[in-house]
Structure 1
Amino acid sequence: MKFSRYIMLALKGCAMGMADVVPGVSGGTIAFISGIYEELIDSIRSIDLQALKLLAKGRLVSFWRHINGRFLLPVLVGIAIAIFSLARLMTYLLTNHPIAIWSFFFGLIVASALLVAQQIGRWNFSTVASLLVGAAIAWWITVATPAETPNDWWFIMLSGAIAICAMILPGISGAFILLLLGKYQYIMQAVGDLNIPVIVVFVIGAAAGIISFSHLLSWLLKHWHDVTVAVLMGFMIGSLNKVWPWKEVVETYLDSHGTLQPLIERNVLPATFEQITGRPALLTEAILLCIIGFLTIYGIEILARIITKEREA
């Protein structure tokens, strides 16, 4: 493989990493657009029992070929570079410009849900019911789950296993899943501070999750494609409750640094937000950023269509 090919794969990985840091944008979507989606799925699925046997026997060259290492390594390096470089920025924005960043995320998720809907071949009772069930479950999670979830190792590992699965789902964001689990800001802070123990536990969970889920996803999409996609779309719609920009803090807690943090929040209208907090609702800026987020996703979709047409020409 030429060196330029490695550089190009690393750049595509960077784009995936940037997408997965932002709630609402899917690394899987970027992989699809950049033309590496199918090879990515096949490479992940190749990390199986046979690969582990080759590794255990010290047959490193055979192991490397079996897992398509020349492809996976530059992509994973690119993803890691993007995540580590953007983590501090996202933590800063969430702390200092919450209304602006949540408005942008809101637009991203709405557009992503609409694009996922286009993947459903036929709408019928089962797909509509699946959509409603997915939306109801996600809505319940956002209402029932407080912002503060356990920081124990098992929950960090579980969060990694669940969130990483989104990387191979076009339209579903891993960062968005972390939002629902109440671990987005915690993981971004750990990455920004190079908290190695937390990062290692998260990566172990992510590795186990993506290897297992790649097989399950392949089976579900093959046998229950429309129902599976409808549930995912419903999950995204129901989750919009989590990223509503204007919130009233109902209950707080002291974090490990002695800083007061919101524990339970309630969505309010912009005018109510101004009355409660005495701060401007920034409604115009919020609407503008929501539109920008929405158009960003459709810009990616238009780019994908252009690339597809060029390949077919």
Structure 2
Amino acid sequence: MKRRSLREYILLFSKGVSMGAADVVPGVSGGTIAFITGIYEELLGSIRSVDGEAVKLLIRFRLADFWSHINGNFLVVLISGILFSIASLSRLILFLLENYPELLWSFFFGLIVASAVVVSKKITRWTWGVPLAGLAGAAIAYYVTVATPTQTPEAYWFIFLSGAIAICAMILPGISGSFLLVLLSKYEYILGAVKELKVDVILVFGAGCLTGILSFSHVINWMLKKYHNVTVALLTGFMVGSLNKVWPWKLTIETYTDRHGEVKPLIQDNVLPGAYESLTGKESYLVYGVVLAIFGFMLVYLVDKFTDDNTTQV
């Protein structure tokens, strides 16, 4: 377990807040934030440490050893930041998505472009497999962004499955767990459950998330250790491919009616800002969008440049 000062724990909490904010928005991954802020591999390692050995230590009431084994301080502070962000920002994000989607997506477009650049810099050696992995990641992410959402059941078993699927994507830079929830028609349903404190839905979804993340973290951790450069290229490709989803100006081609009788976009095409205004009759907010995109890009650049998680391994 790493030793951290109070300042470093506050910084870690803020990283959790950023991850939570990203995970709330369809098209943006909390894993991206973890990667560019330098805690991604520690996060995977900490999750992976919740294993049989941890259970044995807990059963034997060796609580201090258990806490050290799972890097408990790190997980508690980071998860607290994520949960705080989701609980406090869910209403704001939904408001912005409803009223100012162009501005919100512009900010995240710039953020993801910069994230792809930052993550790609972590490739230390280029072999033939690295660009192939990057292209494969971009193709997979692009396909996910153009997939069409479908109506799905609200039974507990499907809520559990949705949590397991979404959490796997949430820890992958570039693949948005929130967007997978959109594809599964469970994004607004889960956010609504959080806002309305539907404890049963939250617990079932949380159990799915826990099951998924404990299983999937082993796979990603193994890939990063054995095939680091190829894995980083794959993750970079995920980010590049996901840009299709976060393009700010979209023309709705087809809609659907949700269970509350509200009309929602089903299929959308990306268009240029000028065409967006003429086709939709809405303000494109082009200047503000460009400014926010640059701000998002610079924010990631500065985080990468100045975020230094100086800790000491014990």
Q: 1:221 to 1:30 in 2, by over 3 A?
A: closer
Q: Which residue of 2 aligns with 1:59?
A: 61
Q: For the residues of structure 2 that align with 1:13 and 1:27, how far apart are their CA atoms? A: 15
Q: Deviations over 1:144-180 (max 9, x none)?
A: x1245635445544443344346656xx267x33225
Provide the C-alpha distance between the structure 2 equivalents of 1:282 and 1:221, rounded to a whole number of angstroms: 40
Match of 1:194 among 197, 200, 208: 197
How much has 1:294 moved relative to structure 2? 0.8
Alpha-carbon contact 1:6-1:74 (below 8 Å) kept: no
What corresponds to 2:13 in structure 1?
13
Give the conservation status (yes or no) of the 8 Å contact 2:19–2:82. no
Q: Secondary structure at the match of 1:285?
A: helix
2:142 corresponds to 1:139: yes
**Aligned partner of 1:262: which letter?**
P
2:170/2:178 contact within 8 Å kept: no
Structure 1 counterpart SS, 2:86: helix
Correspondence for 1:258? 261
Q: Deviations over 1:43-100 (max 9, x none)?
A: 3222112323444x47363644543434433332232222211111111111111000
CA 1:308/1:43 → structure 2, altered by over 3 Å: closer, same or farther? closer
The CA deviation string for residues 114-155 of structure 1, in whole angstroms up to 9 with x for no partner, is 111101112232111111111112212222x12456354455
> Could you tell me how far apart the structure 2 residues matched to 1:139 and 1:32 are?
21
Counterpart amino acid of residue 124 in structure 1: T
CA deviations on 1:217-249 (whole Å, 9 max, x unpaired) are: 221112111111111111111111111111111
| Pair 1:222-2:225 in alignment | yes
Of 259-268 and 210-219, more deviation after overlay is shown by 210-219
Q: Is residue 128 from structure 1 mapped to residue 128 from structure 2 by the alignment? A: no
Superposed, 1:109-120 pairs within 5 Å as 109-120=112-123
Correspondent of 2:209 among 202, 206, 226 = 206
Length-normalised TM-score, structure 2: 0.82
1:236-279 per-position Cα deviation (integer Å, ceiling 9, x unaligned): 11111111111111111111221111111122222222222111
Question: Out of 301, 306, 309, which is 1:298 matched to?
Answer: 301
Query: Structure 1 residues 6 and 42, CA, compared in 2 at 3 Å: closer, same or farther?
Result: farther
**Which runs of structure 2 are paired with 1:241-252 in the superposition (5 Å)?**
241-252=244-255
- Which amino acid is the alignment partner of residue 217 of structure 1? I
Query: Residue 20 of structure 2 contacts residue 85 of structure 2 at CA under 8 Å; is this kept in 1?
Result: no
TM-score (norm 1): 0.82
- Say if 1:112 and 1:43 are closer, same or farther in 2 by CA, change over 3 A: same
Unaligned residue ranges in structure 2 (runs of 5+): none
Q: 1:258 is paired with a residue of what secondary structure? A: coil
Say yes or no: does 1:179 pair with 2:179.
yes
In structure 2, the residue corresponding to 1:264 is in which secondary structure?
Answer: strand
Structure 1 residue 184, shift from structure 2 partner: 4.8
1:278 aligns with 2:286: no
Structure 1 segment 81-100 matched on structure 2, within 5 A: 81-100=84-103
Shift of 1:40: 4.0
Amino acid at match of 2:140: I
Segment of structure 1 superposing worse, 85-94 or 206-215: 206-215
With over 3 angstroms needed to count, the CA separation of the structure-2 counterparts of 1:309 and 1:206, relative to structure 1, is closer
Answering whether residue 270 of structure 2 is matched by residue 267 of structure 1, we say yes
| Distance in 2, Cα, partners of 1:257 & 1:187 | 14
CA shift digits 1:197-235 (9 cap, x unpaired): 332233222212222233222211121111111111111
In 2: Cα distance, 1:120 partner to 1:31 partner:
13
How far apart are 1:21 and its partner, in Å? 2.1
